Structure 1
Amino acid sequence: MKDKRFQMARNSDSMFNSLELPRMGCTGIRLGRNFPREHCQKPTDEQLWSPNPRLVSEKFMARKDGGFIPATTLNLLAAAWIQFQTYDWFNHELDLEDQPYYIPLPPGHSWQGKITLPKTKLDNILDPSDVKCSGYKNINSASTEEATHELRGLDPDGKLELAENSTGAFIPRDKDSNPRTGFNDNWWVSMEILHTLFALEHNILCNIFRKVYPNWTGDQIFNIARLVNYALIAKIHTWGLTGERLTKIVGRISKRSEIISGIPGSGVYHDGIPFSLTEEFVSVYRIHSLIPDNIAFFEAKHGKYQTITPLEDLTFKNAQKPLESGISFADLFYSFGINYPGAITNNNYPNFLRDLHTPDGLYRDIGTVDIVCNRERGIPRYCAFRRILRMKAPKTFEELTGGNKELAKQLSEVYNGDIELVDTLVGSHSEPLIPGFGFSETAFHIFIVMNTETYTKEGFHWVQYTTIKDILIRYFPELEDTLKNSKNTFTPWAIKSESKNYQGIETNAKKT
């Protein structure tokens, strides 16, 4: 290791997160596989385009007018958090030198020009059947130390730069009004509030370390604050079924089981193979149906309804639009706490994502993109996917749908009567849910498969005893009463009486 500081700090490209396996999980390292390679070959042209991915999107992903299907066991903050995490975990390198895919349109379908999609860059060094992951993206820093230093600025206490207006501090913008952060693709108001929240948390950690370690340089403070902040984010995401309160009282219940006690404090067992996220893991995280059509905004202190805004008007450069209109960060978090996300099921992709205009000037149908990317990257079709997981594969379309004859008929028509052709994403959305589950049994099996002094004494204590509720209340005290009456930050919050006057589906639906 040329730079010894990364023994006590996080590198922006994730090198040396493991001192024993320094390149494990770093930028540019390929994604792994849950399945043997012979089941994950690159498709032929016929396999890539059959059945037509745009037709699949139209039939099984398009949300019908007024047909938003809410997931009432979660809140919109949970959907935001999932994106906040996943776009920090993996990113495929695109081959911009090759011709893009020109996705054929089914007969009678129209589009503004051609549907194009850049190809995934092949990892020819190892095997031409595989694709290469371009690596890890950081939330409040970048993927190189140089870029991180530019984002950080020159603060002598290691703090991140934040801009301020009447609604509070927020992520500053560049000359083109894009947020200055490590990764700002797919940006919308949810990313605005979560990035800001943990930038604030980083800066308060810097205050603590400056007070305790007055002789440290700004770089030392920044590095340890970043390390602790990321550990806190990881703990929030991965904490196990027993919950934080019990673990604080009795300690970690199981030293070996992440299922019981979550990942923090667990041992490391790689079984001789460096850990990596997998293509199959990426495939089951294609959950764009979580995105609603609209967000209803409420005032945090008393719960008064303020306005409703189409989500497509809160994306990219418009992500700060609510703040500019006078809605505060506390109002935004309260609104996300009581709004529902969409259910992970068929015909629940918001239609603006199926006609998405991105800042690079392209139009995309994200439903079509999800199907093409899974096929291109060698994800087996639904029945094969289940068999490899040693799960029972359905023999008929009606068996797949749990007896839903209408859906079975539609699947048979699109997939030419061949159940072996059903895409894994479509099959997972079509299978009946296990009671109490918010996602398919097929996806759940992949989730299960995947699933010190470096921090300083103060940092370790901060990670161990800080919850997402603590963070929200620290910066937005007007949320305290609501959160204290809410069992879980990522399920619908206790709703204030004035908020109950609003009757829209965004916050009102029959519990599922």
Structure 2
Amino acid sequence: MNAIEPAVKNLHALSRSNFKEPRIGNYENTQEDNLFMPKEITNRIKIQSSRTKWGFNEEGCNSSVVAACLAIVAANVKSVIAERISDNYPQLEDEELYRYARLVTSAVIAKIHTIDWTAELLKMDTLRAGMQANWYGLLGKTYKDHFGHTGNSILSRFVGIRKPENDGVTYSLTEEFVSVYRMHSLLPDEILLRDIDSLQGRTSPLLSLNGMFIHAFFISIYIARYNQFRRNMLMRPIAKWEDLTNDKEAIAVLREVYGEDVESLDLLVGLMAEKKINGFAISETAFFIFLLMAPRRLKADRFFTSNFDEETYTKEGLKWVNTTESLKDVLGRHYPHMVDKWLNSTSAFSVWDSNPSPRNYIPIYLRIPR
């Protein structure tokens, strides 16, 4: 067993849970599911499916092509990290390598989520500056990379601070955060699948058959309905449908379902119907929760504060986290041919064939917001 084995085991565990292992023998083998995984991994794993050619069966699984692709990317990242750490720490056992690789990968995902994905979800200069400050502090990346954390949570923010700041509450994600973070409704109904060696493409449904049950299930477990949720947040509740949205078609549908009873409006429906701040993909209501939780998930987590060091991550692992700034960096590292051919935008979370953002030499905190 070598350094790549832990990632192989992890992906295989994922496949077993999704493909219902007792029935794997009845599934047909497919080659397409391997995508661009290295031969070291694909030689050890056969991803199999029933009635679909993308590795996820339509029975008992709410997964998608996107999830399969991201699982493969994560497996590649863990494998490379494990090999890099193994090269510098040959005494480590496979389980230790796996744990280090998983920790580093988790930190990379959290960083991408903070300074890359969120900046595209809430697309305005003020939020981009705010999310950069959430990770690097007001002194910015260059200062933090060269001189480390100042010990001040404003100048260097929370990542790398000496001890967690949990405001007297053990690290957790609140029920309110879970309620507003159900963003599957933002996904398109179909995605375009392309072959790297071909200009041809085909569309594929994003969710499997059981995905249709997600919406009804989620609506039933919210902690409050839309108006009460806003009151709990000290936000003004709506008095009529026109307070929620200017979309006449949406208002007509809301009246058909709820009549004039705005108090019965389900939270998820309200969040999706609510008129958005310019540049935002999510509602103002969801943003309020996000604004509270975005810094907390960093400052209250010991792996981003007191244990964000070489002893916990290893020197190579910590360097990997500190030198990865975006999902585009990750894709460029593992799939350079794909990035060169298709990913023209600055962020992988933007429209890939859009123009990249122009270079701006003015520090982000000194720019006039657009």
One of 243, 268, 274 as aligned partner of 1:425: 268
The answer as to whether partners of 1:297 and 1:305 remain within 8 angstroms in 2 is no
Question: Whole-Å Cα distance in 1 between the matches of residues 12 and 173 of structure 2?
Answer: 21
Match of 1:297 among 187, 193, 197: 193
Larger relative contact order (C-alpha < 8 A, sep ≥ 6)? 1
Q: Please give the alpha-carbon distance, in whole angstroms, between the structure 1 residues aligned to 2:108 and 2:98.
A: 15
Once the two structures are superposed, the pairs formed by residues 330-349 of structure 1 within 5 Å of their partners are none
Q: How does 1:428-447 map to 2 (within 5 A)?
A: 428-447=271-290
Which position in structure 1 is the counterpart of 2:87? 211
TM-score (normalizing by structure 2): 0.65
Q: Does 1:449 align with 2:292?
A: yes
1:206–1:222 Cα contact (<8 Å) kept: yes
Kindly tell me: are residues 357 and 489 of structure 1, through their superposed partners in 2, closer, same or farther at Cα, counting changes over 3 Å?
Answer: closer
Deviation at 1:442, TM superposition (A): 0.7
- More moved, 188-197 vs 290-299: 290-299
Q: Tell me whether 1:200 sits opposite 2:97 in the alignment.
A: no
1:368 aligns with 2:216: yes
2:353 match = 494
1:269 aligns with 2:165: yes
2:141 to 248, 259, 266: 248
**How does the TM-score come out when normalised to structure 1?**
0.48
1:343-492 correspondence to structure 2 within 5 Å: 356-357=209-210, 364-374=212-222, 379-402=223-246, 404-451=247-294, 452=309, 453-467=311-325, 468-481=327-340, 485-492=344-351
Aligned to 2:220, the other structure's residue is in SS state: helix
- Secondary structure in structure 1 of the residue aligned to 2:202: strand
- C-alpha RMSD of the superposition: 3.8
Amino acid of the structure 2 residue aligned with 1:393: P
Q: Which residue of 2 aligns with 1:33?
A: none
- Does residue 189 in structure 1 map to residue 65 in structure 2? yes
Secondary structure of the residue aligned to 1:438 is coil
Q: Distance in 2 between matches of 1:296 and 1:432?
A: 28
Could you tell me how far 1:485 is from its partner in structure 2? 4.2
Cα deviation, residue 229, structure 1: 1.9
Shift of residue 483 of structure 1?
A: 7.5
Contact 2:271 2:283 (C-alpha < 8 Å) held by counterparts? yes
Structure 1 residues 275, 179: closer, same or farther in 2, change over 3 A? farther
Q: 1:288 aligns with which of 166, 184, 188?
A: 184
Sort the Cα spacing of 1:185 and 1:281 in 2 relative to 1 into closer, same or farther, 3 A: farther
Q: Does the 8 A contact of 2:225 with 2:264 survive in 1?
A: yes
Query: Alpha carbons of 1:409 and 1:297: their partners in 2 closer, same or farther (altered >3 Å)?
Result: closer
- 1:222-251 C-alpha deviation (Å, 9 max, x unpaired): 222222222222221123734499943222
| Contact preservation (8 Å) 1:397, 1:409 | no
Q: CA deviation at 1:406?
A: 4.8
Distance in 2, matches of 1:306 and 1:262, equals: 46
Q: 1:265 is matched by which residue type in structure 2?
A: G
Structure 1 position 262, deviation (Å):
7.4
- Aligned partner of 1:504 in structure 2 is none
| AA aligned opposite 2:230 | R
Which amino acid is 2:224 matched to? P
Other-structure match for 2:361: none
Residue 221 of structure 2 aligns to a residue in which SS?
Answer: helix
Higher helix proportion, which one?
Answer: 2
Identity %: 36
Equivalent residues of 1:239, 1:263 under 8 A apart: no
Structure 2 residue runs of 5 or longer lacking an equivalent are 1-8, 22-31, 117-127, 295-308, 356-370
> CA 1:190–1:408 in 2, change beyond 3 Å: closer, same or farther?
closer
Report the equivalent of 2:4: none
Partners in 2 of 1:189 and 1:254 — Cα distance? 43
Q: Which residues in structure 2 correspond to 1:40-55 (within 5 Å)?
A: none
Contact 1:228 1:455 in 2 (8 A): yes
* Structure-1 residue corresponding to 2:360: none
Cα distance in 1, alignment partners of residues 243 and 35 from structure 2: 57
Contact 2:11 2:75 in 1 (8 A): yes
Change (3 A) 1:223 1:447: same
The answer to whether structure 1 residue 220 and structure 2 residue 96 are counterparts is yes
SS of 2:276 mapped into structure 1: coil
Asked if 1:234 corresponds to 2:110, the answer is yes
Q: Distance in 1 between matches of 2:230 and 2:94?
A: 51
CA distance in structure 1 between the aligned counterparts of 2:280 and 2:244, rounded to whole angstroms: 17
Number of residue pairs matched by the alignment: 284
1:76-112: CA deviation from partner (whole Å, max 9, x where unpaired): xxxxxxxxxxxxxxxxxxxxxxxxxxxxxxxxxxxxx
Partner of 2:332, secondary structure, is helix
Q: Partner letter of residue 233 of structure 2? A: L
Aligned partner of 1:284: which letter?
A: V
* C-alpha contact (below 8 Å) 2:85/2:314 kept by paired residues: no
Aligned partner of 1:193: which letter?
C
Q: Is the partner of 2:275 in helix, strand or coil?
A: coil
Offset at residue 140 of structure 1 (A): 5.1
* Structure 1 residue runs without a partner (length 5+): 1-137, 152-162, 316-355, 359-363, 497-512
Structure 1 contact 483–489 (Cα < 8 Å) conserved = no
SS of the residue 2:200 aligns to: strand
Q: Contact between 1:248 and 1:465, CA under 8 Å: does it hold in 2?
A: no
